Amino acid sequence: MKKMPTHCPSCSEQLTVRRLKCAVCETEVEGVYPLPLISGLSNEEQMFVLSFIKASGSLKEMAAIMNVSYPTVRNKLNEIIRKIEETERCQGEPNE
> pTM of the entire structure?
0.72
**DSSP result, 9-61:** TTT-PBPEEEEEE-TTT--EEEEEEEPPGGGGS-HHHHHHHHHHHHTTT-HHH
Report pLDDT for 93.
54
Q: What is the mean pLDDT of each run of 10 residues along the chain (96 residues)?
A: 83 89 95 87 92 96 95 97 88 55
Question: Tell me, which fold does domain 37-91 have in CATH?
Answer: Arc Repressor Mutant, subunit A (1.10.10)
Report pLDDT for 1.
65
Report pLDDT for 36.
87
